[in-house]
Amino acid sequence: MVGITRIATYVPRRRLDRTVLGQTWGTRVAPGRRSVAGLDEDPLTMAVDAVLACLDDADPAGFDALYFASTSSPYLEKQVASVVATAADLPRTTAVADFGGSVRAGVAALRVALDGVRAGSLRNALVAAADARLAEPESELEPVLGDGAAAVAVGRVGVIAELVSAASVAEEFTYFWRTDEQRTVQVTEPRFGSSYGYARDVAEAVTAALRKAEVPPASVAGLALGAPDERTAAEAAKRAGCDPGRQLVPSLGSEVGVLGAPDPLALLARSLETAAPGDFLVVAG
């Protein structure tokens, strides 16, 4: 049996009330708060905190791979996974790799880790996803983007969530982006990106994974969808044949904001807190 053996999240303790931003700029914003990394925090340090929480009392020597996923790594050219592995006291022979390019990096790294363990090339692997994305002042993303991290351990012993099936959809569409000369995240027209990008493609991937597992949508206990907003997540759930009100894992948006790469993993951690033996959970981003 291959699957998740441990999972943990890390969210900075500081919060910014969205109403403060609304009052500052004289605009209307949705209620809620977003997490804010401290002056001495970045995706690297938050990833270390999440990994240490995930390891807890586990022996670091038992892991032979660590993957780091982020769209806001503090380095454009320097490996971060090796720093996280060193901070967590993993063996010098640990295989390390960085994942980036989009907020899908977190689930992409998780799938690579699961495939490695299933293939037998890895015994146990760690995945750390962290983001602290910047938005332009007074933009629609400023009240939305939150900072945080999640870490997942994958192996064959002590599995708490077995991998049943996986599926992917490769489709080009522009929604969120940032060039090498930009510090802040840019966004296209949200409704178009949500309906004709995220919701369409995520629903297709979820449907394919359920079909491979021979699990009907109605049997899914929890949908952990890392989405730009709750409305988009609900649309994707409906297109996949699920009931958003009953099956969709509640968003973290109003509590800490949209976390980026760690968002679907953090939602998976939330769903595992109340999951029962035999429940089918879906994580996608």
Digit-coded pLDDT (tens) for 60-115: 999 999 999 999 999 999 999 999 999 999 999 999 999 999 999 999 999 999 99
For residues 46 and 102, membership in a common domain is answered with yes
Q: List strands edge to edge, sheet with 125-131.
A: 95-99, 65-69, 125-131, 148-155, 3-10, 161-162
Residue 65 and residue 62: Cα distance in Å, rounded? 10
Structural domain ending residue among the three candidates 162, 182, 202: 162
Q: Is the pLDDT of residue 29 over 90?
A: no
3-state DSSP percent of the chain in helix, strand and coil, to 5: 35, 20, 45
Read off the CATH number of the domain in which 84 is found: 3.40.47.10
Q: What is the mean pLDDT of the chain?
A: 94
Q: What is the pLDDT of residue 243?
A: 96
DSSP, collapsed to helix, strand or coil, labels residue 253 as coil
Does the global pTM surpass 0.85?
yes
Strand partners, 154: 4, 125
Identify the domain containing residue 151 by its residue range.
3-162
How far is 96 from 85, CA to CA, in rounded Å?
Answer: 8
Judged against a pLDDT cut of 90, whether residue 124 lies above it is answered with yes
Q: How many structural domains is the chain composed of?
A: 2
Sequence-ordered alpha helix ranges (H) in the chain: 18-25, 43-55, 81-87, 105-119, 190-193, 199-213, 230-239, 244-247, 263-274
Please indicate, yes or no, if residue 186 is contained in any of the structural domains: no
| Burial label, 61 (beta-carbon count in 10 A; 0-12, 13-18, 19+) | exposed
35 and 152 part of one domain: yes
Q: Average pLDDT of 132-160?
A: 95
Residue that the structure tokens 């609304």 belong to = 22
Question: What is the CB-side half-sphere exposure of residue 80 using CA atoms within 13 A?
Answer: 26
